[in-house]
Structure 1
Amino acid sequence: MLILRSLLANVVFYVNLSLWLVFAAFPALLLPRRYLMKVAGGWSRSALFLLRVTSGTGFEIKGLENVPSGGLIVASKHQSLWETFVLIGLFPDPVFILKRELTWIPFFGWCLLKLRMIPVDRGGRARALAQVTRRSRIEMRENGRQLLIFPEGTRRPAGAPPDYKYGVAHLYADLKVPCVPVALNSGLYWPRRKFLRLPGTIRLTFLPAIPPGLSKTEFQALLQDSIETESDRLLALGRSELAKLGLDPLAKHS
Structure 2
Amino acid sequence: MVVFRSVLFNVLSVGLTLLMGVGALPIRWFAHRRALEYARLWARLVLWLFRKVCGVTVQITGLEHVPASGAALIASQHQSAFDTLIWMLLLPRPCYVMKGELRRIPLLGPMLVLTGMMPIERAAGAKAMRLLLAETDKAVRAGRQIVIFPEGTRTLPGEHVPLKPGIAAMSSHAGLPVIPVATNSGLFWGRNAFFKRSGVLHVAIGPAIGVTRRPELLARIESSWRDLEKSWHRQA
Is the CA contact (8 Å cut-off) linking 1:179 and 1:209 kept in structure 2? Answer: yes
* Whole-Å separation in 2 of the counterparts to 1:94 and 1:2: 32
In structure 2, the residue matched to 1:112 is 112
Q: Which amino acid aligns with 1:215?
A: R
Deviation at 1:116, TM superposition (A): 2.2
Deviations 1:125-178 (CA, angstroms, capped at 9, x unpaired): 2221111111111221x2111111001111001121233111111111111012
Deviation at 1:237, TM superposition (A): 6.8
Number of residue pairs aligned between Structure 1 and Structure 2: 235
Q: Where do residues 12-51 of structure 1 align in structure 2 (5 Å cutoff)?
A: 12-23=12-23, 25-51=24-50
Q: TM-score, normalised by structure 2?
A: 0.93
Q: CA RMSD in A?
A: 1.7
Q: Which amino acid aligns with 1:144?
A: G
In structure 2, the residue matched to 1:134 is 134
Deviation at 1:34, TM superposition (A): 3.5
Distance change >3 Å, CA 63–CA 111, structure 1 → 2:
same
* Whole-Å separation in 2 of the counterparts to 1:35 and 1:18: 18
Deviation at 1:232, TM superposition (A): 5.2
* Whole-Å separation in 2 of the counterparts to 1:8 and 1:229: 36
In structure 2, the residue matched to 1:194 is 193
Deviations 1:88-143 (CA, angstroms, capped at 9, x unpaired): 22212111111111000111001011112111112122221111111111221x21
In structure 2, the residue matched to 1:65 is 64
In structure 2, the residue matched to 1:218 is 216
Deviations 1:200-233 (CA, angstroms, capped at 9, x unpaired): 1211011111133x22222111111102332355
Is the CA contact (8 Å cut-off) linking 1:57 and 1:197 kept in structure 2? Answer: no
Is the CA contact (8 Å cut-off) linking 1:76 and 1:151 kept in structure 2? Answer: yes
Structure 2 gaps of 5+ residues are: none
Is the CA contact (8 Å cut-off) linking 1:48 and 1:58 kept in structure 2? Answer: no
Q: TM-score, normalised by structure 1?
A: 0.87
Question: Displaced runs of 4+ in structure 1, greater than 6 A?
Answer: none
Q: Where do residues 156-195 of structure 1 align in structure 2 (5 Å cutoff)?
A: 156-195=155-194
